[in-house]
Structure 1
Amino acid sequence: MHSLRVKAGTISLVVGLTMLFMKFGAYYLTGSAAIFSDALESIVHIAATSMALFSIIYSAKPPDKEHPYGHGNMEYFSAGVEGLLILLAALGIIYYATMDIIYPPEIKKLDIGIGIVAFAGLINLFLGLYLIRTGKHTNSLTLVADGKHVLTDSYTSLGVIIGVAIVYFTDIQIIDPLFAIFVGMNIIFTGYKLLREAFGGLMHEADAETVRKVTRSIVDLKRPNWIDIHELRCRRSGSFVAIDFHLILPWYVTIKEAHDEETRIKSELKKIFPESDVMIHFDYCKPELCRFCFHENCAERSVPQSTDFKWDEEKASGRPVYELY
């Protein structure tokens, strides 16, 4: 997994450098504010991708005494830096476009500029999709964030192409900086989303998708003598997932039997979440739980099973079942 992340990050950096030279070449030829906005965004891409590659390498370091849960939070920090850089780039784009409205530059060779930007945008589209797919496959927030940034770059290029093409065919030159401002405002939204996601990760905000996936994985392992799971907590740190929950078993289950069940659950969850730590707190059943229990061969049952409930993420994350019904 780590080698895939490093490979994807390196590809992103190399492609980004190539796109940077192409776009600034297009700006040098045309003098277009819209093309300049696209080139400026590529500078941010290089800085952000360099940070992303560093965080991928750093976050892969194993847990140590000072960092018992590993170094995965570096990925959230990297995503936050990338979001901040995107916002700064957007503000720079809007500023320079405004200056071009006040002091219009000479625009030339727009047909060549359109061709260069179109080619660069197409390359970025494929790169962004590749980074997002690889990031999801390897559970890397950094790669997903970088992929979203690159996709934003390709959308920026599309907007630039439209704006420059309109100027080329109509000769209404004020459209060029106006499109640049529109592109900048769109980039601000992407930067905000990345910052929001990064802060959520650093503050250990509940990840609904992770909780849902963990819950379904646990429920698939359920045995007849499981009475309830509750107080499920999941915490992501980059690609690492810390999982803990309470499991109610019949009171007469021995320590060895509970330990064997814990080993089985952890082993199966490790197959789904390779980089994870699972903690299970075992609770024993009480007479008030008999009406929820499907364990048919229980000699200690006080009342028949009569109440059913859904084993979903909402229930698993909440209180014990006997406190809810």
Structure 2
Amino acid sequence: MGGIVRKKREKIIIRTSIISIVLNIVLVGFKALVGFFANSIAIISDAINNLSDVISSIIAIAGTKFAAKKPDKEHSYGHGRIEYIASFIISAIIIYAGIAAFIESCKKIIKPEEISYNKFTIIVIVSGILVKLLLGIYVKKKGKLVNSDTLIASGVDALNDAIVSISVLASGIIYLIWNINLEAYVGVLVSIIIFKTGIEMVKNSINDIVGYRIDGRMAVEIKNEIMLIDKVNGVFDLLLNNYGPDKYYGSVHVELPDTLSVSEVDHISREITERIMNKFGVIIHTVGVYSINTKNIEIIKLRKEISDIVFSYDGIIQMHGFYINEKEKNIKFDIIIDYKIEDREELYNIICKEIRSKYSDYKIEVVLDFDMSD
């Protein structure tokens, strides 16, 4: 992602967050006052929920600002992952708000208090629902536009808030019509929804920080693009590390004929890095090369025989990097075993044993590779 695009992304996140802050502050003020005078724990819990949204938006702005800092000596890949930390903090705040609301609601169940709903109370709640629905749709849309997990989470949270407010509205209408006080119970429901939202956001934030498998469609598109380059016979071991939204750095292996010169390999390597950067904004640091035997038909037949042995076992995803050095009587290749196989090491050893027993004239070197991308 270019510098201009990143600056535009930063502006959109900050502007959207400021709009969210202003609207939520207004909602907090009205709901807190109405909740206080109506002695309504449900409305006050709703106000607390909106207050957590204000804090979340402030943290989102701070996180975006820090994440946009340029790389330095200590952080050569930039500061993009600060956005993930910001999302984690926001999640923790939402969880705390849910727990606090749950405790207060339980107190009201144990020790009920008289509430005082009126038409103005209902108008404030309905207005809050409309604002939250529109805000949620707007923020989520902007989040998807700039690929911001923080904004998307805030948008989803706002839509959840609207659902929460609808439940508060329902309890208010029930009280006005039938004089039945479900207030504290609705407060418990609200607090559980808030808590659940926070837990889901924590999981997403932890996944971002720890690292996860790259999007399958993106991996396939990158590999297909590399396959368009002349002389490339295969693309393997695509490894991408995420250092913030849309900040990918990685490496890849390609299979090339053993007839190419060093200068030809260098040209292909440079073309790969340039094409992937220009089309996907991904920085490929390293292009590794697997040489393919093309001069000896017998070796090609041998590769087919060994491939048949490997794929005769269940759980084999891929075999690649196959090369035979006839002079040194050496066979090298990698295999990828599905993570669903309970003991990958055991299966790997069984395969190696069979191949070594059948081709005892050769030194067999098999690498148990990882399934890193689609």
> What's the TM-score bracket when you normalise by the shorter of the two chains?
0.7 to 0.9
- Structure 2 length normalisation: TM-score? 0.73
Count of residues paired in the alignment? 305
Deviation by residue 1:221-279 (Cα, 9 ceiling, x = unmatched): 422532222222222222222232212222233344333333333333334443x4222
Q: Distance in 2 between matches of 1:168 and 1:37?
A: 20
Larger relative contact order (C-alpha < 8 A, sep ≥ 6)? 1
After TM superposition, list the pairs within 5 Å mapping 1:117-196 onto structure 2: 117-173=125-181, 175-196=182-203
> Is 2:99 the partner of 1:60?
no
> Is 2:274 the partner of 1:267?
yes
Question: Does the CA contact (< 8 Å) of 1:33 and 1:177 recur in 2?
Answer: yes
Q: 1:261 to 1:83 in 2, by over 3 A?
A: same
> Is 2:219 the partner of 1:214?
yes
Bigger radius of gyration among the two: 2
Across the aligned residues of Structure 1 and Structure 2, the Cα RMSD in angstroms comes to 2.8
Question: Does the CA contact (< 8 Å) of 1:234 and 1:241 recur in 2?
Answer: yes
Question: If each structure's strand is expressed as a fraction of its own residues, which one has the higher value?
Answer: 2
Question: Does the CA contact (< 8 Å) of 2:239 and 2:250 recur in 1?
Answer: yes
Q: Distance in 2 between matches of 1:158 and 1:271?
A: 47
For 2:137, the aligned partner's letter is L
The 10-residue stretch of structure 1 (87-96 or 29-38) with the greater mean CA deviation from structure 2: 29-38
Residue 207 of structure 2 is matched in structure 1 by 200
Question: Does the CA contact (< 8 Å) of 1:247 and 1:280 recur in 2?
Answer: no
Question: Does the CA contact (< 8 Å) of 2:227 and 2:234 recur in 1?
Answer: no
Residue 258 of structure 1 is matched in structure 2 by 265
The 10-residue stretch of structure 1 (258-267 or 146-155) with the greater mean CA deviation from structure 2: 258-267
Q: 1:196 to 1:105 in 2, by over 3 A?
A: same
Residue 238 of structure 1 is matched in structure 2 by 244
Q: 1:219 to 1:105 in 2, by over 3 A?
A: same
How far is 1:3 from its partner?
1.7
Residue 320 of structure 2 is matched in structure 1 by 320
Q: Distance in 2 between matches of 1:137 and 1:259?
A: 37
Unaligned runs of 5+ in 2: 1-8, 308-314, 323-333, 337-374
Q: Distance in 1 between matches of 2:213 and 2:34?
A: 42
Identity of paired residues, percent? 21
Q: Distance in 2 between matches of 1:268 and 1:256?
A: 18
Q: 1:212 to 1:99 in 2, by over 3 A?
A: same
For 2:53, the aligned partner's letter is H
Q: Distance in 2 between matches of 1:135 and 1:162?
A: 31
Q: Distance in 2 between matches of 1:22 and 1:119?
A: 10
SS of the residue corresponding to residue 46 of structure 2 reads helix
Q: 1:46 to 1:266 in 2, by over 3 A?
A: same
SS of the residue corresponding to residue 195 of structure 1 reads helix
Deviation by residue 1:284-325 (Cα, 9 ceiling, x = unmatched): 3233xx6xxxxxxxx776648989xxxxxx999x76365449
Question: Does the CA contact (< 8 Å) of 2:222 and 2:276 recur in 1?
Answer: yes
SS of the residue corresponding to residue 285 of structure 1 reads strand
Q: Distance in 2 between matches of 1:24 and 1:315?
A: 60
How far is 1:185 from its partner?
1.0
Deviation by residue 1:58-101 (Cα, 9 ceiling, x = unmatched): 10111111111111111111111111111111111111111222
Question: Does the CA contact (< 8 Å) of 2:85 and 2:209 recur in 1?
Answer: yes
SS of the residue corresponding to residue 225 of structure 1 reads coil
Question: Does the CA contact (< 8 Å) of 2:92 and 2:202 recur in 1?
Answer: yes
After TM superposition, list the pairs within 5 Å mapping 1:27-38 onto structure 2: 27-38=35-46
Q: Distance in 2 between matches of 1:30 and 1:273?
A: 55
Residue 293 of structure 1 is matched in structure 2 by none
For 2:289, the aligned partner's letter is D
Q: Distance in 1 between matches of 2:61 and 2:266?
A: 41
Question: Does the CA contact (< 8 Å) of 2:84 and 2:209 recur in 1?
Answer: yes
For 1:53, the aligned partner's letter is I
Q: 1:254 to 1:169 in 2, by over 3 A?
A: farther
SS of the residue corresponding to residue 280 of structure 1 reads strand
For 1:188, the aligned partner's letter is F
Q: Distance in 2 between matches of 1:257 and 1:78?
A: 46
Question: Does the CA contact (< 8 Å) of 1:141 and 1:238 recur in 2?
Answer: no
How far is 1:8 from its partner?
1.6
Question: Does the CA contact (< 8 Å) of 2:316 and 2:335 recur in 1?
Answer: no
How far is 1:208 from its partner?
4.3
Residue 49 of structure 2 is matched in structure 1 by 41
Question: Does the CA contact (< 8 Å) of 1:201 and 1:237 recur in 2?
Answer: no
Residue 310 of structure 1 is matched in structure 2 by none
How far is 1:6 from its partner?
1.8
